[in-house]
């Protein structure tokens, strides 16, 4: 059975945006901006001609063949029959050519053909024809046989040649595009119609807004800075965890700035053809110079600005050429041109050092995760346009969502609205937000996942142990809810709500956190006499925390104040940590393993001692969970109070190792 504890997150805070009121749009659009260049006329594309070529050629061939085909087949007589018919007076007229071919007509009008043998003496034939008064006509054939045979022979060759020519042009079209349309940047240019988001619509983060709003002010009024001898920044890069609103800040800049705003993603520069990315960078900054003063925004710049290496492959050459061109453009354009580069990434550790130096990106702005008060304000912003019940307290919801980014909070409110619609309601209540938070953190409720009676009792014992140990530890976060209803991969859940966002974690807090993690296994050992597979996730999480206490936080008396951090500074470091890359010897690894095991074992032993001292409260809470499936935090405290002061160890006493 997997158990999830809603412990405070170690991540940073986030940026959240708010919706602009309609009145601001009209006032902003009424401001006059710099003169705009008329867009170049788009030439009308002519209709392609090649689809009509093949049908037309086939039609010509068919017409020629039909024209040459005789209307009906003319009978051919042997020469002897022809002479016999002449002597019989049946022939009316003949047409003789110089090749000996004869086309004749009988007295009854029938047509016939024959051929006079040139090897015989045919002089008597002339006398016979004259004697029978046959009309004789002589013709001479041409040497070429007419143009039609040549047309029938040449036309198919012309069609085949045209097909080869068209196929060659189609195959060469991508290469031609490399020098044409493929080399053009794919930046979205915003000049007249701007986004509706502004700096006033972003909740909190006054320092971040000040850093970026100075760029807009510098482009609007450069004289103020020139009078004091100050130079405007050439570039500002925003870094932070995913979903914190870095792109939303760029949208706010586009909404506030009265200068052209060119937006492009880092992946738009990457192509398989070497030189295309560099060409697009040149074209992007060329467009920015034409519209100066202007702002260039590159989202996910790590796609093109990663560290350069010596691999020598084609893809690496293309990426490095693109990065080199970007470095040259940022360091090469005139300072007085009024071009500022704004970039965003959540992987600053992968960027090339030459890109981050002053003169290119002069300012590095961190966009962290929101704190508790900012989460409450952001939740209220996302609730606009929705009907909320009066029992909804945004401060309570903000306490229950530590480590949530702006995107996570928006998804939370949307899931709550979906949950209300699922129950045929239009009003969103506090229970909908709780269900949405459980769905986001744990997954969908599995009502069909029925447990056996003994499994149900074991799950209740497990969760009761987590809840009681959390209530008894002085540094642990308060228990908010305990449930044995399956959700996603988890069969049970104990949720804790921190009193406030933590940024530093003491040794006492981490020790209590280990004890709470192992409280479920300790309850199984106390009540059932043996452990189960339900504590697998608890053991894995406790082992990770203990290992970091030893290797990173210097909280081991044996190893001493030595830290072996992963060295990763990116916001995706938790996903990219490779345990096989350690900076210490095998002997140190054995010490780390022994200390990690000692911390986990001491935490389990301490949790077992607590639960044995409060066995009555453990049994009482287990019975309540079996009967009601879900109990709140005050029920856990009531189970401890019912024991009486003589049988319950106080939190301060239980917190002492």
Catalytic residue numbers read: 463
* Tokens 């149900």 -> residue: 456
Tokens of 478: 């308060």
CA–CA gap between residue 113 and residue 105 (Å, rounded): 9
Tokens of 216: 């807009």
Q: Are 405 and 435 in contact (CB under 8 A)?
A: no
Q: Are 512 and 473 in contact (CB under 8 A)?
A: yes
Q: Are 467 and 620 in contact (CB under 8 A)?
A: no
CA–CA gap between residue 34 and residue 3 (Å, rounded): 60
Q: Vertex 211, ends 209 and 216: CA angle to 5°?
A: 85
Q: Are 491 and 1 in contact (CB under 8 A)?
A: yes
CA–CA gap between residue 61 and residue 155 (Å, rounded): 8
Instruction: Give the helix/strand (H/E) hosting 97.
Output: strand 91-97
Q: What are the angstrom distances between the C-alpha of 69 and each of 72, 151, 532?
A: 9, 15, 95
Instruction: Give the helix/strand (H/E) hosting 101.
Output: strand 101-106
CA–CA gap between residue 652 and residue 533 (Å, rounded): 31
Tokens of 323: 């990065």
- Helix axes of 615-628 and 453-472: crossing angle, nearest 10 degrees: 130
Instruction: Give the helix/strand (H/E) hosting 174.
Output: helix 147-179
């Amino acid at each position: 059975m997997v158990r999830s504890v809603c412990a405070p997150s170690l991540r940073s805070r986030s940026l959240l945006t708010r919706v602009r009121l309609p009145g601001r749009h009209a006032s902003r659009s009424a401001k006059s901006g710099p003169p705009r260049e008329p867009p170049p006329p788009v030439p009308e594309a002519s209709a392609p001609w090649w689809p009509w070529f093949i049908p037309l050629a086939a039609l010509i061939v068919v017409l020629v063949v039909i024209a040459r085909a005789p209307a009906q087949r003319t009978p051919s007589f042997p020469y002897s029959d022809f002479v016999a018919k002449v002597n019989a007076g049946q022939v009316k007229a003949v047409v003789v050519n110089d090749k000996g071919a004869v086309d004749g007509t009988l007295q009854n009008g029938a047509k016939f053909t024959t051929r006079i043998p040139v090897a015989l003496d045919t002089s008597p034939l002339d006398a016979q024809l004259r004697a029978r008064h046959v009309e004789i006509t002589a013709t001479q054939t041409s040497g070429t046989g007419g143009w039609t045979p040549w047309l029938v022979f040449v036309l198919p060759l012309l069609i085949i040649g045209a097909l080869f020519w068209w196929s060659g042009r189609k195959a060469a079209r991508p290469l031609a595009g490399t020098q044409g349309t493929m080399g053009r940047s794919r930046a979205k240019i915003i000049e007249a119609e701007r986004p509706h988001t502004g700096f006033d619509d972003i909740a909190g983060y006054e320092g971040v807004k000040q850093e970026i709003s100075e760029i807009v002010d510098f482009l609007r009024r450069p004289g103020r800075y020139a009078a004091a001898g100050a130079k405007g920044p050439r570039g500002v890069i925003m870094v932070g965890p995913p979903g914190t609103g870095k792109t939303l800040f760029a949208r706010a800049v586009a909404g506030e700035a009265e200068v052209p705003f060119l937006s492009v993603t880092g992946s738009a520069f990457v192509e398989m053809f070497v030189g295309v990315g560099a060409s697009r960078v040149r074209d992007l900054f060329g467009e920015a110079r034409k519209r100066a003063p202007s702002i260039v925004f590159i989202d996910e710049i790590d796609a093109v600005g990663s560290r350069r290496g010596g691999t020598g492959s084609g893809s690496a050459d293309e990426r490095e050429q693109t990065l080199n061109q970007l470095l040259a453009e940022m360091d090469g354009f005139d300072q007085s041109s009024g071009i500022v580069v704004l970039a965003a990434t959540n992987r600053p550790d992968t960027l090339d050092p030459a890109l981050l130096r002053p003169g290119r990106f002069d300012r590095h702005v961190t966009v962290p995760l929101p704190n508790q008060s900012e989460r409450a304000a952001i939740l209220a912003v996302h609730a606009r346009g929705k009907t909320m019940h009066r029992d909804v307290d945004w401060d309570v919801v903000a306490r229950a969502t530590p480590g949530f980014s702006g995107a996570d909070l928006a998804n939370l409110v949307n899931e709550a609205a979906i949950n209300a619609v699922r129950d045929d309601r239009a009003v969103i209540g506090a229970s909908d937000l709780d269900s949405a938070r459980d769905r986001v953190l744990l997954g969908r409720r599995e009502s069909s996942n029925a447990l056996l009676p003994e499994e149900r009792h074991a799950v209740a014992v497990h969760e009761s142990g987590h809840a009681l140990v959390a209530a008894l530890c002085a540094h642990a976060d308060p228990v908010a809810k305990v449930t044995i209803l399956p959700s996603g991969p988890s069969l049970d859940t104990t949720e804790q709500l921190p009193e406030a966002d933590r940024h530093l974690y003491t040794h006492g807090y981490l020790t209590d956190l280990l004890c709470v993690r192992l409280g479920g296994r300790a309850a199984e050992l106390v009540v059932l006499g043996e452990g189960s597979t339900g504590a697998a996730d608890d053991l894995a999480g406790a082992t990770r925390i203990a290992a970091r206490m030893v290797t990173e936080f210097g909280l081991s008396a044996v190893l001493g104040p030595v830290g072996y951090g992963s060295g990763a500074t990116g916001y995706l470091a938790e996903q990219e940590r490779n345990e096989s890359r350690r900076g210490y010897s095998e002997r140190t690894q054995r010490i780390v393993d022994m200390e990690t095991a000692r911390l986990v074992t001491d935490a389990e032993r301490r949790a077992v001692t607590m639960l044995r001292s409060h066995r009555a409260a453990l049994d009482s809470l287990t019975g309540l969970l079996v009967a009601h499936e879900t109990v709140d935090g005050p029920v856990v405290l009531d189970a401890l109070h019912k024991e009486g002061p003589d049988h319950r160890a106080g939190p301060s006493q239980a917190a002492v190792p």
